[in-house]
Every structure is written in structure tokens, then in C-alpha cells.
Copies of this chain bind each other. A is one copy, B any other.
Amino acid sequence: MDLFDFENGREGYYGEYGGTFLPEILHTTIEQLKTEFRKAKQDPAFWQEFVSLMQSYSGRPTPVSPLPNLSAKLGGAQIYIKREDLNHTGSHKINNVMGQGLLVKRMGKSRVIAETGAGQHGYATATMAARFGFESKIYMGAVDVARQRPNVFWMENMGSEVVPVTDGQQTLKDAINECLRDWVTNMDNTHYVLGTACGPHPFPEMVSWFQSIIGHEAREQILTAAGKLPDRIYACVGGGSNAIGIFQGFMEDTEVELIGCEAGGFGPGQGNHAARLAYKDASVGVAQGMKTYFLQNDDGNMLETHSVAAGLDYIGVNPILVNLWEKNRVRFEAVTDQEVTEALKLSMRLEGVIPALESAHGFAQAIKEATQMQPNEVILINMSGRGDKDIFTIADALDDQHWKQFISEKAAGYRGGES
């Protein structure tokens, strides 16, 4: 199944979803981007350049690791994880970002902007900008700036300007709006490095393409490691880039069940979560450049969302995944904050791996289902990122008293003038 043949004649549409909903002033820019992207996609040398950059700079291929202890404890399926956490900068976000960086170079632009929620994409973009020598500005909801300061610190140190966005809910979606505002002003020299497989076409296709490196590697690796294709693949879904990234390796393998894991937050009910498809609180809309499911009210205004994982705390979702969901090719499930915390603890204790809170959503759902599966069945989870940069969030989620004391002492030290 080629997701991108657009056989219905509507380029950028996946069933009813997708499209390019942008202010007219960006029309030329986006057309140019489409053209450059199309050329790059058809040029095998481009993909080769991308792969070898990812090898030498980011450590690809990332391995597939078995989790024997967790599997044994659950007593069901054999669990494996795809280790996107081992990428340079600690998550799959770098795949997309380096790919776009190469495109920016081809387009001859000198400046990049990016939104970021969890900070991972901003961190990756700042890294890419430093490496490619681009000027860069990262927009980040003020709430996220506060909860993800370590990422801000690194972005700034890599030479990016980080702009806290104080509009709206001051989170990811607002940072996207702010990027669009920058872009309509500076499109001549500026590329907007969108961080997930959302937004106007060609971004969903483009981001998916770069992230497909995950799935292509993973298919070969799991065949070697497990001796068979996985029965189920779990991936967390924020905007949907890591999920579509790994899923693409297995599109033709209809016997492989694909499960997207959304942020269930406090559970169902508007405002409690960021589950667009697994719960029933979202509906189709058009915003942020695309037509897809949004968590919105009857007026089409967006709802508050909540998740312990900033990177999943988003109103919309990858239109390609929505289409695959409608076609029953991808199942969607939501995982609550609490289930996520438990899954995180289990994987730290039993396997010595610290998934990002986002990725831990995939772990949690897999853990729920593994027990009901047979020992000869195989599960593959996309570990989209590592959790050690989320220390402030995780320490809070675990309500760690030592940590709080440490922070208080550190603060007292700063007040006292020592450093």
C-alpha cells in the first residue's frame, strides 16, 4: 500500500484528511517546498545522503533490543523495542530534522524556525541548525518553556533563540501558530521545520518519509532478532511522526497489527486528555494547516488538552494515521498518565531503560496487552526517545522527595551567591 500515491487525484489527501490550509501569502513558498521535496524524494542520491548523514552523525541504525525480563514477568508475548532513544539528541525527532536540514540546504535558505512542545524537536532543530550553520529561532509555549527548561538551556547554548509563546494555551499548538506568523513574514530566507507529521501538505508526507527510516530498519532487525515479523507494533502518537515512521516498514505486512497509543491523561472527558481517536471527544476540523481530527468544541475552537507527556499534548493528529484508522489498518488506544508512570517504573527496574514519557505510552499499552498474548507472539514498541532529559517532569510525576530537596538546596545555593 503506497500511502502517497494520491490516486484519488487530490495531492496531499489521505482519504478525507490532509490538504494544505495556509494563508495565500505562503502559496508560493509551499509550492516551492513541494517541488523541492518531490525532486529530493525522486532522487536516490538524496536518500543516500540522508542515510549516511544519519549514520555518521546520529548513530543510525538504532538497534532493536529485546526486553527479556519484562516479557518473562508478563508471561505473554516477547517484547522488543526499537531504540530511537539512542539517536543523537535522544529521540526520533532528529531523523526528520536532519532530513529537512538537507532540503533547506538544497533550497538555499539560511534560516530555520520550529515549534516545540516537549522540547525534543526544538532541541533537535537547534542541533541541526548549529551543524548546518543556519540561523534559528524556536517557538515554544511559555508553559512548556517552564516545564522543559533543560531543553531550552541546550537550544540556547547551541545558538538558537528560544521564544516563549504567551498566546492561547501557551503550548505546542500555539507555538505552531507563532511559527506560521514568523513564516508568513520571513519565507524568503526561512524554512519552517515542522516537527511532526502534521500541518499542511507536504509536511505530513515529508516528515513521514524521513521517519520511515525507523520502520525500514526495524523490519529487518526484528526479523533477525525474533525470527519473525512482530504480531503487534505499538507507538505513541503525538502529532504522529514516530508512529507513522515505524508503521511504514510494515504497511504491506497485513498480519502485523499496528497500534497508535495516545495520551489518555486523566481519562476520557473533554479537557482531560489528548486522545483524538481513542476517545470520543474529538471531531474533524481544519486548523494548523490541515484537515484532521481535532479536540475542539462545537464552535470549532480548540479544547484544553492534558498529558503528563508534553510531546503528546496536542490537539490534532497526523491525517495519514486517521485514514489508516478509518481503514482499520491502525488501531488507536489511549493510555492514562498513571498507567504511563507505572510502565516507566517497570521498564527502568526490569530492563534498565528509561523511555521518554511519550514513548512510555507505547510501553504501557504493550504491557496491558502482552499478558493476553502467547509466548510465541512478538511485540515491537517504538521507543521514540529517552526519558533522562525529562528529569524534572518524571521526578514530579514520581513525586520524588529527594529531588525536591535537591532543587531546594540548589536554589538556596544560588540565592546565597554560590554557583
Q: Contact flags (1/0) for A104-148 with B, using CB distance below 8 Å?
A: 000000000000000000000011111101000000000000100
A411 part of interface (Cβ distance < 8 Å): yes
A350 part of interface (Cβ distance < 8 Å): yes
A405: min CB distance to chain B, Å: 8
- Bound: A46/B353 CA distance, A: 24
- Bound: A381/B402 CA distance, A: 37
- Bound: A380/B350 CA distance, A: 37
A49: min CB distance to chain B, Å: 14
A388 and B419: CB pair below 8 A?
no
Task: Indicate which residue in B55, B146, B159, B411 contacts A63 across the interface (CB closer than 8 Å).
Answer: B55
A157 and B412 contact, Cβ closer than 8 Å, known pairs A59-B63, A59-B83, A130-B352: no
A131 and B86: CB pair below 8 A?
no
- A395-419 with Cβ < 8 A to chain B: 395-396, 398-400, 402-404, 406-412, 414-415, 419
Please count how many residues in chain A sit with their CB below 8 Å of the partner chain's CB atoms.
65
Task: Indicate which residue in B86, B158, B388, B395 contacts A352 across the interface (CB closer than 8 Å).
Answer: B158
A351 and B130: CB pair below 8 A?
yes
B404 and A133: CB pair below 8 A?
no
A354 part of interface (Cβ distance < 8 Å): yes
A412 and B410 contact, Cβ closer than 8 Å, known pairs A56-B225, A352-B131: no
A410 and B392: CB pair below 8 A?
yes
A391 part of interface (Cβ distance < 8 Å): yes
A267 part of interface (Cβ distance < 8 Å): no
Closest to A410 in B: B407
A343: min CB distance to chain B, Å: 13
A75: min CB distance to chain B, Å: 16
Closest to A401 in B: B414
A352 and B128: CB pair below 8 A?
yes
A4 part of interface (Cβ distance < 8 Å): no
- Bound: A407/B418 CA distance, A: 14
* Most chain B CB inside 10 Å of its own CB: which residue of A86, A88, A352: A352
A248 part of interface (Cβ distance < 8 Å): no
A297: min CB distance to chain B, Å: 28
A153 and B400: CB pair below 8 A?
yes
B-side contacts of A259, CB under 8 Å: none
B56 and A66: CB pair below 8 A?
yes
B-side contacts of A153, CB under 8 Å: 391, 395, 400, 402-403
- Bound: A419/B405 CA distance, A: 12
- A350-368 with Cβ < 8 A to chain B: 350-354
A44: min CB distance to chain B, Å: 21
Q: Closest 5 CB pairs between A and B?
A: A411-B411, A127-B352, A130-B352, A59-B86, A131-B352
A-B contact pairs, 25 of them (CB 8 A): A55-B63, A56-B65, A59-B86, A69-B133, A83-B88, A86-B87, A126-B352, A127-B352, A127-B353, A130-B352, A149-B402, A152-B402, A153-B402, A157-B348, A157-B354, A157-B398, A158-B352, A159-B348, A159-B349, A392-B410, A399-B419, A407-B410, A407-B414, A411-B411, A411-B412
Give 17 A-B pairs besides A150-B391, A154-B391 with Cβ atoms closer than 8 angstroms: A56-B65, A59-B62, A59-B83, A69-B131, A69-B133, A85-B88, A130-B351, A131-B351, A153-B391, A153-B395, A153-B403, A154-B354, A156-B402, A157-B345, A157-B354, A392-B410, A408-B411
